Structure 1
Amino acid sequence: MENENIKCSQCNSTFNKMFLLGKQGNIDTCPVCGGKMDDVAEEEHEDWITWYYYKDPEYGDFSLWDKLPNDPSALTLIKEFKAPPENNPGGLEVVKDILRTYIPDAFKYPEEKTPIVRCPKCGSKEYTLMNKGYSLFTGFLGSGRVKRVCNYCKKEF
């Protein structure tokens, strides 16, 4: 009964029986329209297979498997879900999109948070940080500050 679905005869909404039992205590009426619920005999996607989303505790990286690995004890199972096989159109990207409905940040790389500093004159990203020294006009004022000097055009910014 755990994975059994039922369908509303009026609005065609499909729900898991366990969800309805937990939400409203019965499986006779549709929570959307109040219509009569019917058992769904066949699964919506019969050609889909079971995928396994694992985390390697030693290295901290994640992986997708379409079968159980040889040594599953070395990995931590995060999510088991149904999706089309890898040879379907879209390949693994479709599988990853379906996984993201369960785990939104799956296989997303962290965005670079530090801004890229570029030379205002030539646009180079390579520069050297130098301390401001003594100046004839300002003396020691500002001598503790850091200035950037472009490695290509030698502009200070």
Structure 2
Amino acid sequence: MGRTILCPHCKSTINEDILKQKNSEDICLVCGGRLDDGGSADAKSDWITWYYYGLKDKKGNKTEITSLMDKPMDLEKFGDTHYLIKEFQAPPRDINGKSDAAKRELRKYVPDAFQEAKAVPKVQCPYCFSKEYTMMNRGFSIWTGFLGSGKAKRVCNRCKREF
């Protein structure tokens, strides 16, 4: 019979034999935290508290505008225009003054925070607005012959129309 291990995060007790059977000897089966928490305390000792705020409009409704600050905001004074979304621990700003490491840590709690805008393809079907199309060469015409056959035409993969 193996020994019993206490998780430092969720305070649950787990049998060591069960951990070996599940191939997770250093990860808690209940909360997913590391059981040997000795090395992570040194790595996170220089982390600071970050504050992720949202902005309210004039009517007091929440908007999509957000900000990330390393100092707390006085919500008694600015509570009518701002609200706290998340308070979390993350590394301080880097040498260049950027907070990219803090944004990566924030995405663990709020997945859609500071997402990069996806590049939208410029060409889309004017009929069904699909972005999937096939480039094809124009063929021979009885009326015009080979005139214009060097040009390409786009055919929508969804509605099969040419544009």
TM-score, length of structure 1 as denominator length: 0.47
